[in-house]
């Protein structure tokens, strides 16, 4: 790794596309753990090592993405907050529970989150989760912390700092739950504008990486289609199908009651250093628009 290398700066210079880059996750568990987080948040934080390792194992088995969260300023909470989010594009759900310390999270029914199980109760969203996980990647701290401060000032109840959400090179990153919308290359002013637009039911295509509940190609297809139609309502679309033939992916989407077929071509660049800490190079995946046509 070269001295002074910053993956977010290099990504912007290369022109890595945002569309189609959100981690493909539908189930999230957010555990409040204040204080510093190490490179591996579950194993290097105020969680004890046995709890962190067991939580990681159970989340893998249940196909749940565990994230640590904390309030901006890192104040110690009186009780531990846990959120469960199901980023189903048709029926997103956010649940909240309180536990007596982080170890109690191991008693939660992680394998049944779609059933909205007790002790989770329906929570009022959205959650604006700003990645500030600097020990994982320097760009997340340098670009994320100013965003977290601005978001906390504008939306103190909805804003949380969050551990690694993926796509360090697109920092600052914002994950909106339960919708599973991921935004990147934000600064403080843009992040607040994205959040205000979200509360008004509107997507920001200039910063949208994609919906975590969609495959990568479908994420890109939605962005291309919305640019084509000018329709930005965050809840007015749904994915009907996504089929791949070699590098060509055909996605059928319904948007504002009309069906569209969007074809994209997936491409891979030459190998690049994609994160500040990366020990090896990897290609950048991108999706180029082939065509868009209405489905009669």
Predicted confidence (pLDDT) per residue in 134-156, tens digit: 888 999 999 999 999 999 999 99
Reported pTM: 0.94
59 and 184 share one domain: yes
73 and 167 share one domain: yes
Q: What is the mean pLDDT of the chain?
A: 93
270 and 125 share one domain: no
194 and 223 share one domain: no
- Residue finishing a domain among 199, 231, 252: 199
Q: What is the pLDDT of residue 166?
A: 93
- 2 falls in which pLDDT band (50, 70, 90)? very low
Q: What is the pLDDT of residue 1?
A: 40
184 and 240 share one domain: no
- Residue finishing a domain among 134, 165, 199: 199
Q: What is the domain-level CATH number for residue 181?
A: 3.40.30.10
In a domain, 5, yes or no: no
Number of structural domains the chain divides into: 2
In a domain, 267, yes or no: yes
**Phi, then psi, of 266 in degrees rounded to 5:** -85, 135
Predicted confidence (pLDDT) per residue in 162-220, tens digit: 999 999 999 999 999 999 999 999 999 999 999 999 999 999 999 999 999 999 999 99
Between residues 36 and 196, the one the model is more confident about? 196
- 13 falls in which pLDDT band (50, 70, 90)? very high
194 and 230 share one domain: no
What domain range is 283 assigned to? 215-294
**Which residue shows structure tokens 């791949």?**
244
DSSP notation for the chain: --TT--HHHHHHHHT---TT-S---SEEEEEE--S---SSTTTSSSS-HHHHHHHHHHHHHHT-EEEEEE-TT-PPPSSEEEEEEE--SSS-EEEEEEESSGGGGGGS-GGGGGG--TT-EE----EEEEE--TTT-HHHHHHHHHHHHHHHHH-TTTEEEES--S-GGG-S-EEEETTTEEE-S--HHHHHHHHHHHHTTB--TTTEEEETTS-HHHHHHHHHHHHHH---BTTSEEEEEEEEETTEEEEEEEETTEEEEEEEEEEE-S-B--STT-SS-BPPEEEEEEEEEE--
Q: How many CB atoms lie within 10 A of CB 35?
A: 10
Predicted confidence (pLDDT) per residue in 243-255, tens digit: 999 889 999 999 9
83 and 150 share one domain: yes
- Residue finishing a domain among 170, 199, 228: 199
CA distance 61 to 29: 13
CB 204 within 8 A of CB 183: yes
195 and 220 share one domain: no
Q: What is the pLDDT of residue 47?
A: 83
- 74 falls in which pLDDT band (50, 70, 90)? low
Tell me the average pLDDT across 100-127: 92
In a domain, 10, yes or no: no
191 and 230 share one domain: no
In a domain, 257, yes or no: yes
Q: What is the pLDDT of residue 172?
A: 96
For the ranges 77-81, 111-115, 125-129, 265-269, the lowest mean pLDDT is seen at 77-81
pLDDT higher than threshold 90 for residue 73? no
Q: What is the pLDDT of residue 29?
A: 97
């Amino acid at each position: 790794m070269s001295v002074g290398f910053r993956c977010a700066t290099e990504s912007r210079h290369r022109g890595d596309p945002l569309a189609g880059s959100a981690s493909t996750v539908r189930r999230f568990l957010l555990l409040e753990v204040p204080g510093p987080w190490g490179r591996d948040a579950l194993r290097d934080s105020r969680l004890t090592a046995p709890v962190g390792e067991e939580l990681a194992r159970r989340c893998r088995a249940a196909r749940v993405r565990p994230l640590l969260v904390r309030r901006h300023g890192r104040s110690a909470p009186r009780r531990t907050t846990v959120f469960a989010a199901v980023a189903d594009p048709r029926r997103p759900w956010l649940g909240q529970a309180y536990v007596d310390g982080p170890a109690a999270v191991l008693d939660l029914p992680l394998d049944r989150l779609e059933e909205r199980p007790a002790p989770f109760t329906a929570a009022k969203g959205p959650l604006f989760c700003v990645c500030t996980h600097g020990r994982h990647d320097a760009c997340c701290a340098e670009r994320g912390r100013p965003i977290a401060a601005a978001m906390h000032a504008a939306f103190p109840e909805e804003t949380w700092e969050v551990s690694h959400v993926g796509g360090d090179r697109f920092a600052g990153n914002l994950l909106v739950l339960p919708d599973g919308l991921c935004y990147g290359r934000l600064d403080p002013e843009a992040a607040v504008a994205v959040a205000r637009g979200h509360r008004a039911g509107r997507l920001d295509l200039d910063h949208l990486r994609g919906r975590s509940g969609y495959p990568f190609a479908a994420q890109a297809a939605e962005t291309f289609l919305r640019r084509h139609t000018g329709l930005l309502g965050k809840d007015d679309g749904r994915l009907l199908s996504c089929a791949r033939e070699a590098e060509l992916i055909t996605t059928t989407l319904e948007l504002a009651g009309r069906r569209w077929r969007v074809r994209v071509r997936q491409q891979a660049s030459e190998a690049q250093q994609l994160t500040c800490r990366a020990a090896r190079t990897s290609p950048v995946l991108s999706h180029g628009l082939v065509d868009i046509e209405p489905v009669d």
